[in-house]
Structure 1
Amino acid sequence: MTVRDVLLIALYASGGAAGAGVLGAGALHLLRRRSIAVSLTVVAAVAVGAMLAGTLAVAWAMFLSSHDLAVVTTVVAVATAVSLATALALGRRLVLDSRALARAAHDFGEGGTFVPPTRPAAAELTTLSAELTATSARLAASRDRERALEESRRELVAWISHDLRTPLAGLRAMSEALEDGVADDPARYHRQIRTEVDRLNTMVGDLFELSRIHAGVLALAPARVSVYDLVDDALSGVGPLAREHRVRLVGDRVEAVPVEVDSKEMTRALANLLMNAIRHTPADGTVALAAERRADTVVLSVTDGCGGIPETDLTRVFDTGWRGTTARTPPAGAGLGLAIVRGIVEAHAGRAAVHNVPGGCRFEVTLPAART
């Protein structure tokens, strides 16, 4: 057989196979919205049909005798039928795997949790199943956070309503007494009204601050300052409250290390921690504020004498509206102080934590140290 014959055979075979391929591509385009079973059938038919067309094209071009042409045609037709049936049988497993994954995805949409099929599947379907499993886990965590946040919001609304109702009722009663002229000591009533107004103003300020934190619009003006100055400002601000509760403030373990923070906001965060500690420390107790450098961070800690926090509540301490349990006397206000602390600290790329120590607990604020 000459080179010319080989080229002719290749030409006829490729022509027949190409024709079958073009027809198959058209069929796949028309049936692209059908199931994967139909697509697999078309692919198998195209593969077998291309072989059949190429073989018959070469056989006819060789001008075989009628008997030889019939034999070749019969052999090719039988081989085509068997090959097509085998391809469809082998492809059925892929169809079953895709249907199992589709059922699992449907249940994922209905029940909210994706349970991957147990039977082994092709690599692509296994990868898709793994992605759906990871997505299901993320959605479950998001739903848990949403439920916790919604529960926290409901508790906050209930507590705020109660905390607002009490001073407002007192203000109304005192104002009516002053108006009717039945107040035996008007000056004392005026002082009490001023106290209640200050309390309401503090509560509204906390709510506004927390709303800015949650909305991500807390405007910071970071500057390089010494931790010593932050601690001094915070201690000075809570001094009157400590004297009122007869609590001793200690701040002698403070290293003068620099940080880049918004002094006003960070001083507020430290003051909130100190006020929380003072309110929960018995009279004649001690609240200690310390600061030290650890590697590339600065850790500020507030240690009180509250007696400790139950282990089950340690993860909720910084939640909005959390007021503690019977192990800690519920503080004044709406339970926003520690939530504001966490928001301010995280806005500075830091983190806030709490853990129990002998006789009380320690709140720690970790901030990035200023670059030298």
Structure 2
Amino acid sequence: MMLTLADLLLILATAAVCTAATTLLALLVLRRRRQRSVTEPFVVLVVAAIGSVVCSTVAIAALMYLSLHDLQVMLWVVGLSALLSLTATLLTARAVSRSFAGLGEAVERVGRGAVVGPEAYAGRELADLSAQLAVASERLAAARAEIEQLDAARRQFFAWISHDLRTPLTGVSALAEALDDGAVADPADYVRRIRAQVGTMNRLVDDLFELSQIQSGALRLRPQDIELLDVVSDAVADVHQLAVAKEIRIEHAGVEGRMLRADPHELTRVVVNLLTNSIRHAPHASEILVSADQADGRLVLSVLDQGSGVDSEDLTRMFEVGWRASAARTPDAVPAAGSPGAGLGLAIVRGIVRAHGGDVRAAHVPQGFRLDVALPAPAA
């Protein structure tokens, strides 16, 4: 028997009314339950879908079935199917809820500083989220370790700076007291020694100011076309007194005729700091070689001394602010030139060189220990 248009419209209207009623009821429940778990909307919507099917089926069956027996059979079948579907929905929602609870516990452990591993969840999205959380926890742990290391380095740095400032200040105070008491045979010599101590403090303050400009990005370069030989000659003249005190000869090779575009004042400071570092740690009465070469489109300026250098694991750390290899690298009371040895010289070198678009590195070579500064080569 074919359905008439009226019967079809009645079926559609009944199904629409039942579905609209259960859907509206579900939305009202969700609206009233704002502080709900993540699985509750899923359960409510599934229950609403099952309810709308059951309601529509029962209503249409009641209208169309002629036999009470057939209606009862339909009710039992639909009721059992709905019950089993709801049971499966609740079990699935419970499993999902446990998975989210596990993720919540993992997030809490990450917040306490733990490193978590990825968990094997049934859902791909939850498994991906767990994997991302594991990666994030590793990165956070690495960041915390780096921050702790930087904080320790900062405390040590300020301790060194305080010591390096206190040493000349103590000397100036003692010399001034001796002059004030009139207990010195040669006042002019004491004045010279006071000036030397003041010079040490001035250089340290200058280095701190330079380093602060580099780290804040406030360093302003004034590049111009310069000859490398002029820069090296000026730097050698600045460290001459320090080299003579240790009977160290400074030679150069391959420097003549090389042009580059750089800030002459800052580049001279770079070479002075490199030479000062080499002179301090080179053997007595040895030789330091300043050389230049061009490789991979860069001009490489090298300072080679005959010392043993630093340990291999410290080759990259030696350019960090405040780094000192050992107590043996404590600065002289009155250095002749360059940084007063507060662990700032090589950090300033790296900052200036990187501001020029270059880089600095250190290496052990058969002849000794070498510091290389690679700068962009000028266009041909």
Which of the five TM-score ranges fits, normalised by the shorter chain? Answer: 0.7 to 0.9
In structure 2, the gaps of 5 or more residues are: 333-340
In structure 2, do the counterparts of structure 1 residues 289 and 31 end up closer, same or farther at CA, with 3 Å as the change threshold?
farther
Q: Look up the match of 1:346.
A: 354
In structure 1, the gaps of 5 or more residues are: none
Greater shift, 202-211 or 26-35, is seen at 26-35
Amino acid paired to 1:166: T
Shift of 1:282: 1.6
Amino acid paired to 2:85: S
Q: Following superposition of structure 1 onto structure 2, how do residues 6-45 of structure 1 map, counting pairs within 5 Å?
A: 9-10=11-12, 12-45=14-47
Shift of 1:96: 1.5
Amino acid paired to 2:205: V
Shift of 1:103: 0.8
Aligned residue pairs, count: 370
Amino acid paired to 2:140: L
Q: Look up the match of 1:122.
A: 123
Q: Does 1:323 find its partner at 2:324? A: yes
Q: Following superposition of structure 1 onto structure 2, how do residues 131-210 of structure 1 map, counting pairs within 5 Å?
A: 131-210=132-211
Q: Look up the match of 2:84.
A: 82
CA contact (8 A) 2:362 2:371 kept: yes
Instruction: State how far apart, in whole Å, the 2-side matches of 1:22 and 1:296 are.
Output: 73
Q: Does 1:102 find its partner at 2:110? A: no
Shift of 1:149: 1.7
Q: Look up the match of 1:360.
A: 368
- Length-normalised TM-score, structure 2: 0.85
CA contact (8 A) 2:299 2:374 kept: yes
Shift of 1:179: 2.2
Amino acid paired to 2:330: P
Shift of 1:347: 3.2
Instruction: State how far apart, in whole Å, the 2-side matches of 1:66 and 1:370 are.
Output: 100
Shift of 1:27: 2.8
SS of alignment partner, residue 267 of structure 2:
helix
- What does the per-residue CA deviation read over 1:105-158, in whole Å, with 9 as the maximum and x for residues that have no partner? 111112x12313533342222222233223222222222222222222222222
Instruction: State how far apart, in whole Å, the 2-side matches of 1:60 and 1:257 are.
Output: 101
Instruction: State how far apart, in whole Å, the 1-side matches of 2:80 and 2:252 are.
Output: 94
Identity in percent: 42
In structure 2, do the counterparts of structure 1 residues 153 and 54 end up closer, same or farther at CA, with 3 Å as the change threshold?
same
Shift of 1:102: 0.8
In structure 2, do the counterparts of structure 1 residues 109 and 198 end up closer, same or farther at CA, with 3 Å as the change threshold?
same
Q: Does 1:218 find its partner at 2:226? A: no
Amino acid paired to 2:61: A
Q: Look up the match of 2:281.
A: 280
